Amino acid sequence: MTAQAQKMAVTASPFTLPPLPYPDNSLEPLISARTLQLHHRVHHKGYVDKVNQLVAGTAFAQMTLRQIILATSGKVQHAPLFQNAAQAWNHAFYWHSLKPKGGGAPPPLFKAQVDDSFGSVDALKEALATEAKGLFGSGWAWLVADGARLRVVGTHNADNPLVDKLTPLLVIDVWEHAYYLDVQNRRADYVQGILSNLVNWDFAAANTSGPPVNGLA
């Protein structure tokens, strides 16, 4: 199986936990190997396992995670499935939003889009930081495309901008399990570390021109 086929397998049924795109210790010292192991192989795996339980024997078993999210959003009777499918999708997207030795300048064409929408890369980073630090409780801070414009939006719990017909470009996870072992309650330190040293602008840029490049449909 090719690497791309392995990535696409995350949308097959039964669902499988996608591998991290880097070694456990490659985001240190900002995100420790211990945090990454617990986050990926306990929290993320738990959502994937629960989706498999919930879709067994139903028509949802033939859908991708994205299709499940769109089909169950806002439907009370399917709330557990939406929550777990969205969390499985969100986490897979989050891993690719980070990369070792990230940060720096975005690719030129994407930087032009950022400048057009926010004025500068620094202004975009400030908007992401403000959203991520200020979001009450658990959730996600997203950079999205809304037509030709880029926006920063926040979602709570498992919510996902796909249901609002927005295109996710990258995301910062602000659930406490993403950072508490490393910085305790200092969410701002975690967010700043990502934006300075780990954010994957190449991933965001690739997502402006098609489906997410991590294979999530």
Q: How confident is the chain (217 residues) per 10-residue block, as mean pLDDT?
A: 38 78 96 97 97 95 94 97 97 97 95 97 98 96 96 97 96 95 94 97 90 54
pLDDT of residue 193: 96
Per the domain annotation, does 196 fall within a domain? yes
Based on the domain organization, do 65 and 123 belong to the same domain?
Answer: no
Per the domain annotation, does 215 fall within a domain? no
Per the domain annotation, does 22 fall within a domain? no
Per the domain annotation, does 116 fall within a domain? yes
Based on the domain organization, do 118 and 200 belong to the same domain?
Answer: yes
Distance (Å) of CA 162 to CA 13, 89, 90: 20, 11, 10
Convert the pLDDT of each residue in 95-110 to its tens digit.
Answer: 999 999 999 999 999 9
For 142, the domain range is 108-207
Number of domains within the chain: 2
pLDDT of residue 8: 38
Sequence letter at residue 83: Q
Per the domain annotation, does 188 fall within a domain? yes
Based on the domain organization, do 93 and 117 belong to the same domain?
Answer: no
Per the domain annotation, does 115 fall within a domain? yes
pLDDT of residue 14: 78
Q: What is the CATH number of the domain that holds 117?
A: 3.55.40.20
Q: What is the CATH number of the domain that holds 60?
A: 1.10.287.990
pLDDT of residue 2: 35
**What is the three-state SS of the chain?**
CCHHHHHHHHHCCCCCCCCCCCCCCCCCCCCCHHHHHHHHHHHHHHHHHHHHHHHCCCHHHHCCHHHHHHHHCCCHHHHHHHHHHHHHHHHHHHHHHECCCCCCCCCHHHHHHHHHHHCCHHHHHHHHHHHHHHCCCCEEEEEEEECCEEEEEEEECCCCHHHHCCEEEEEEECCHHHCHHHHCCCHHHHHHHHHHHHECHHHHHHHCCCCCCCCCC
Q: Among 57, 72, 97, which residue terminates a domain?
A: 97
